[in-house]
Amino acid sequence: MPQSIKPQQHAADLQPEPRDGGQAAGGLRLADWSVSAVAAGFMAVLVSYAGPLAIFYQAAQAAHMSNAMFASWVWGISIGAGLAGIFLSWKLRIPVITAWSAPGTALLITLFPAMPVSEAVGAYLTAALILLAIGVTGQFDRLMALIPKGIASGMMAGILLPFGLNAFKSIGSLPLLSCGMIAAYLVFKRLLPRYCIVLLLLTGALLAWAGGHTHFGGITLELAAPRFIAPTWSWAGTFSLALPLVLTTLTGQYLPGMAVLRGAGYDSPVRPILTASSVASLAVACAGGITIAIAAITAALCTGRDAHDDPARRYIAGVANGLFYLLAGLCGGSLVMLFAALPRELVATLAGLALLGAITVNLAGIAAAEDHREASVITFLATASGMSFLGLGSAFWGILIGMLACWLLHAGRRQAAPPS
């Protein structure tokens, strides 16, 4: 009777025999392509644009940005994510799904319009260089071990909390639309959780159209063109945006993203993924593209059986995902028109509900941090307060105050502990 194969044993069979440094060689084989893998890649892109792009649009509104400039931003994040995903999926022969940093984008909204866009671009470049250095040196795991998980969760939850609150504040101005979307979210989350955000966007657009709150008539096919933004550097941009962006990208994107890959049996090192994504971030930063990273939520759509029964052929989902990103990036002008045609309440409700899962996970991370729970709550409250002091934003002060509280409370406990 044959023995059952454990997931850990099966993981070694997921990839072809590696060559030269552990990377699979060879080009794209036509036999590996499948309708299911392409559909999974398309759905991952659709989910990315349905939820995280709404957050990006809110950041553009906070910066009082023109539609043409926002289209350049969409071009940057789409082209960067697309090229990185295609290269990594082809090179590593695993479904690497890339995206832009959603928590980092949420951070932008707290800094605009006080921070100039050129200063934000300078912070993008600084963050990308730091992430590239971490990737090249292979210090990801060691660096993550230095940051208590509860502190990182507290900062993430504090950044994202206002979005969750805004989803319900919208009830005051457009109650039927907002309440309808919240009810639809609960139904779709129960029945079709994987496609919940896409269906929620469609439902919200339908409700807004029925209520006469949309302006779809002006939407046309318009290509996006990158616009060069000359970066400027400042200490405030480094501490308020660049460093928190690095931390949120590592803890909010790479940690869960790599967990999804490894949970599906793909035992890939983080080093090549972090390095290639950081290079893509550098390439598109001056067009307004925020940090490119491995996806966390949408990665699950392309790493399971829905993509393909054969794990070794699921990498096509990552390639297809990248190709759809490139196509969407070229049509970025039309995407901007679509979001501009929707009421602010719809975008706010969509963004808040799309981040509800991330808020829940990080609040749970705070509660699970038994050794430093109080310091984690302090981090959460300081970050969520939106405080600004000495020109530095709340994310910086939240992590600084939280780390200081953690150190003081731990030092006191160690001194007070009786000798064994």
Over residues 4-35, the pLDDT tens digits come to: 333 333 333 444 433 333 344 456 677 778 88
Torsion angle, alpha carbons of 254, 258, 260, 265, to 10: 170
Angstrom distance (rounded) from CA 146 to CA 271: 18
- Of 260, 265, 329, 294, which Cα lies nearest the Cα of 88? 294
- Of 178, 163, 205, 170, which Cα lies nearest the Cα of 341? 205
Q: Is the pLDDT of residue 128 over 80?
A: yes
233 in Cβ contact with 126 (< 8 Å): yes
Q: Is the pLDDT of residue 36 over 60?
A: yes
Q: What is the per-residue pLDDT for 287?
A: 92
Which run of H or E residues covers position 46? helix 35-50
| Burial letters 394-418, b for 16+ CB under 10 A, else e | bbbbbbebbbebbeebeeeeeeeee
Mean local confidence (pLDDT), 302-325: 86
Only one residue has tokens 């912070």, namely 123
- Of 99, 91, 3, 11, which Cα lies nearest the Cα of 55? 99
| Burial letters 16-35, b for 16+ CB under 10 A, else e | eeeeeeeebeeeeeeebebe
Angstrom distance (rounded) from CA 10 to CA 237: 46
Q: What is the per-residue pLDDT for 105?
A: 84
Mean local confidence (pLDDT), 325-345: 83
262 pLDDT band, cuts 50/70/90, is confident
158 pLDDT band, cuts 50/70/90, is confident
Q: Is the pLDDT of residue 217 over 90?
A: no
Q: What is the per-residue pLDDT for 17?
A: 39
- What are the tens digits of pLDDT across the range 279-313? 999 999 999 888 999 987 678 778 877 777 788 88
Q: What is the DSSP string of 161-211?
A: HHHHHHHHHGGGT-HHHHHHHHHHHHHHHHH-GGGHHHHHHHHHHHHHHHT
Q: What is the per-residue pLDDT for 275?
A: 94
Q: Is the pLDDT of residue 257 over 50?
A: yes
Q: Is the pLDDT of residue 276 over 60?
A: yes
Q: What is the mean pLDDT of the chain?
A: 82
**Range in 49-53, 63-67, 112-116, 394-398 with the lowest mean pLDDT:** 49-53
Q: Which residues pair with 187 in a beta bridge?
A: none
* Token pair in block for residue 273: 């993924």
Q: Is the pLDDT of residue 147 over 70?
A: yes
How much of the chain exceeds pLDDT 70, in percent?
90
Q: What is the per-residue pLDDT for 229?
A: 93
Mean local confidence (pLDDT), 42-70: 82
| Burial letters 271-281, b for 16+ CB under 10 A, else e | bbbbbbbbbbb
206 in Cβ contact with 359 (< 8 Å): no
- What are the tens digits of pLDDT across the range 349-377? 887 887 788 788 889 888 888 888 899 99
411 pLDDT band, cuts 50/70/90, is low
355 in Cβ contact with 160 (< 8 Å): yes
Q: Is the pLDDT of residue 419 over 60?
A: no
Mean local confidence (pLDDT), 320-346: 85
- What are the tens digits of pLDDT across the range 167-202? 898 898 889 999 999 999 999 989 988 778 778 888
